[in-house]
Each structure stands twice: as C-alpha cells, then as structure tokens.
Amino acid sequence: MSEGKDKNPYVSIFITLLFMCAGIGVLALTKHIAKIEGDVVYVALLLIPVFVYLAIMGKPFELKIGSEGLSASLFKKSVDDIKKHVEDSITEISEYEEERSTYLGKLDQIIRQGRKFCLIYADVDHLRQHTRQIFLKEKGSSKRRAENKIREETIKELSFALADAFCKHDIKDANNKNAKYDIFSLNEPDLVMIAREVNVKQAISVAEKGQENFKNYTAKKNFEGHNATISIVSRDEMKDPKPRAFDEMACKLLTDGKKKIRGDIYVSSAC
C-alpha cells in the first residue's frame, strides 16, 4: 500500500513535464508556422496543455486576466459533474451483494437507453419450510441434496416458469423483433425479471402464467406445488428513475403484499 503512495508524486511529475513539453512544442510550432507575435498569445498557448491536464485530473483552478480580475473556472464544473455522477453510480451499486450489483448495473443501462420495461419481483412462498421438508424426505437416499442446493434448484424452476411465460406471450419490440428479458437471482427477493418492451397489462399476464407454470413444475416434487408472490413496477413510475429507487419500490410492494396474501400479484397503485 505504501509503495503505491510513494509512486504517485513521481507519476504526477512525469505527467506534468509531459504536458509542459507538449505546450512548448505547440508554442514553437505555432511561432514558426503562423509567425505570431506577442507574449500574451505565447503564454496562452503554453497554458492550454496545463489546463487540459488539470481538467483531466479534476483539479480546481481559475484563470484571472487583467486588472479587473476577470476570472473563469475552466472545465471545473464539467469535471465535477462527471465525477459526481460516477461516484454516485459506484456508491449506489457497490452497496449491494454481487448479483444485485450486476442487476442494478443492467437496469441502469436499460433506463439510460430509454427503453420501456416492467420489473417483475418474485418470491417463493415458504421457501425455507419447503426446502427443509424436501431435505428430510431425501434422508437416506444416495441422491440426497444439501439444503442450499434444493433452494437453488427451486428458484431455478421459478426462473424457467417466468421465462417460459414471457416467451409464450410472443411480445415484440419497436422493430417487430422478439422482446428480451433479463433474470437475476438475488438474496431478497428470490428472483427479479426485467421484462422489456412490455406494459403493465402484459406484465401481469406474464406473472400469472409464470405462477401457473411454477406450480405445475414443482408439483412433480411436491404434491400441491409451490406458490410465488409477485410484485410489478413499471418504468413509467418515475420521471427521473434511478435503479435503487426502483429496487426499493418493488421490494416494499412485494414485502407489503406478502403480509396480506401470499401467492398473489401486487401492482403499484401508480401503474
């Protein structure tokens, strides 16, 4: 760690000298070709590479000209805006577990593209109890699975159920091509689908069919099959959407819904 810190001053000095040499080169070339006279112009030309360097490094600086004290904070605002956006994005995404960071990064990309979409958050009802029951039933079997493996396979069944439901609806995008979806398995909830190019009505239909599929798929291992509670939030929810805000809204809707009726579909009131 200390070795990296010791190298920083040398790197800065090297970059500064590089830009200074570039400035002197520009000055000499300009003088030779354009035959420009006047010290002020020379100084301005010499300072241009310095300004560029400071802008890249994000250093605050001002240029004062004349006795009236005319000042200009060159590049500083743009650099600060860029740095703030990058820092906000990194902070927002890095606070979550790895899979959620991947999900929020993808959601941010889709939001910036201006795409229409709905978020479908799905949670397997009583997953822990179901997992434990299956684990105990497999006791003594040579094919007995660990509980975390059972959980993963159950969530994978839910993933297949929603994916099949989405594909069955044959949703098209603006170019009349098959619409796309993205599915992520998270710590909470169990599953998230970014259903692109769909409206709320279509998202509800996909969710209903997904629930039906999931119950049928898991009925082979559990006589009654498993249920999943689902919440839906549309892209139209916010004028200035942020990935974290969408995530919090959908999670809250799902949590509040499960307190009322498990195995149901909950849609934001604003949809």
Burial class (CB in 10 A: 0-12, 13-18, 19+), 189: buried
Tell me the C-alpha to C-alpha distance, in Å, between residue 183 and each of 28, 193, 254.
59, 4, 17
The alpha carbon dihedral of 19, 25, 27, 33 has a sign of negative
Beta bridge pairs of residue 117: 196
| CATH class, range 96-267 | alpha beta
**Amino acid present at 68:** E
Pair 171, 178: CB distance under 8 Å: yes
Q: How many CB atoms lie within 10 A of CB 75?
A: 17
Tell me the C-alpha to C-alpha distance, in Å, between residue 253 and each of 69, 247, 257, 266.
57, 10, 6, 7
Please tell me the distance from the alpha carbon of residue 76 to that of residue 72, in angstroms, as a whole number.
9
Please tell me the distance from the alpha carbon of residue 203 to that of residue 90, in angstroms, as a whole number.
30
Q: How many CB atoms lie within 10 A of CB 55?
A: 15
pLDDT in tens, the chain (271 residues): 444 444 455 666 666 677 667 666 766 666 666 555 555 555 555 565 555 555 555 555 455 544 444 444 444 455 455 445 444 444 444 445 688 999 999 999 999 988 889 999 999 999 888 888 888 888 888 888 888 898 999 999 999 999 999 999 888 877 788 899 999 999 889 999 999 999 999 999 999 999 999 999 988 766 678 999 999 999 987 777 899 999 999 999 999 999 999 999 999 865 5
Q: How open is the CA angle 202-239-95, to the nearest 5 degrees?
A: 90
Give kind and range of the element (H or E) at residue 232.
strand 228-234
**How much is the pLDDT for 5?**
45
**How much is the pLDDT for 238?**
75
**How much is the pLDDT for 266?**
96
Pair 230, 207: CB distance under 8 Å: yes
3-state secondary structure (DSSP) of residue 175? coil
**How much is the pLDDT for 144?**
86
Q: What is the DSSP string of 53-106?
A: HHHHHT----EEETTTTEEE-TTHHHHHHHHHHHHHHHHHHHTS-HHHHHHHHH
Please tell me the distance from the alpha carbon of residue 173 to that of residue 180, in angstroms, as a whole number.
8
3-state secondary structure (DSSP) of residue 230? strand
